[in-house]
Amino acid sequence: MQDLFHSLGISENLLNYVLMPLLIFVARIGDVSINTLRIMFMMNGKKSIVPILGFFEAMIWLLAIGQIFQNVNNPLSYIAYAGGFATGTFVGMALEEKLAIGRVLVRVITPQPHPDLLEFMKMKNYRFTNVGGEGRFGKVNLLFTVMKRDTLQEFISKVKEVDEKAFYTIESVKRVSEDELNTMEDRAGFRSKFFSKARN
């Protein structure tokens, strides 16, 4: 690669102290971001795409580490490597949050039932279980639901609107027993929205 840059008339100093560190930095952003997405897809059971992401992650990492060994006496290469890793972690997290792939289990604990929250969930076709329980300070209401991550923010906003002191936990769900049924419902909902817009 250095021969290629030399053939383009790029000076040795520009190559070693600007272009190579920049290349390492960008490569690290790429492979760390892909690693974050690969783990996310793996956690959600997306088996087909995980090996492909792993392949490109390894290739980019080898490119970056290869340039490190070729510029072992250049401290900027190490700074670029570490900086790319840190930036790639941030970019990967931002992409993972933006894609919002998969489903989550949400538990909501409140001192008493909230019928308006249950009505909201029925209106949105959320599947849920609502039971009574015993807490440290007496009776509590416990609500379980599994939902798509891209609807989570709307639901949490509703929970806070109903009870700003409600205690809730959120966990990732790898697989849902009715996943195929939910997929069919998603497709049916998409077709319904599509034809509705077409008629309008």
CATH code: domain of residue 113: 3.30.70.120
Tell me what percent of the residues of the chain surpass a pLDDT of 90. 22
In this prediction, residue 39 carries a pLDDT of: 85
Predicted pLDDT at 29: 92
Mark whether 64 and 108 lie in a shared domain: no
Do 54 and 112 share a domain, yes or no?
no
Model confidence, pTM: 0.58
Q: Same domain, yes or no, for 93 and 126? A: no
Total domain count, the chain: 2
- Give the pLDDT of residue 169: 92
| 10 and 78 inside one domain | yes
Q: Verify that 50 and 110 share a domain, yes or no.
A: no
108 and 149: one domain?
A: yes
- Tell whether 39 and 81 lie within a shared domain: yes
Query: Which pLDDT score is estimated for 192?
Result: 47
Chain-centroid distance of CA 87 in Å reads 16
| Domain match, 93 and 1 both | yes
Tell me, yes or no, whether 55 and 95 share the same domain: yes
Per-residue burial over 128-164, b if 16 or more Cβ lie within 10 Å, else e, is eebeeeeeeeeebbbbebbbebeeeeebeeebeebbe
Which domain range does residue 132 map to?
103-173
Divide the 200 residues of the chain into consecutive groups of 10 and give the mean pLDDT of each group.
53 69 88 88 78 90 79 81 91 81 86 90 89 84 89 90 90 68 45 45
* pLDDT given for residue 7 in this prediction: 56
Does residue 29 lie in a domain region? yes
- Asked if residue 190 belongs to a domain, the reply is no
Residues 95 and 109 in one domain: no
* Nearest residue to 155 (alpha-carbon basis) of 146, 43, 165: 146
pLDDT in tens, 130-168: 998 887 778 899 999 988 888 888 999 999 999 988 899
Query: Do 6 and 91 sit in the same domain of this protein?
Result: yes
- On whether residue 196 sits in a domain, the answer given is no
Q: What is the pLDDT of residue 160?
A: 92
What's the pLDDT at 194?
40
* Contact present, 128 and 141 (Cβ < 8 Å): no
Q: How many CA atoms lie within 13 A of 86 on its CB side?
A: 6
Please give the Cα distance from 84 to 77 (Å, whole number): 10
Instruction: Tell me: do 127 and 50 sit in the same domain.
Output: no
192 lies in some domain: no
Continuous H helices in the chain? 2-7, 12-14, 20-43, 50-70, 75-99, 115-123, 152-162, 179-199
Whole-number Å distance between alpha carbons of 126 and 151:
10
Residue 195 lies in a domain: no
| 58 inside domain | yes
- Residue 130 resides in a domain: yes
For residue 13, is it within any domain? yes
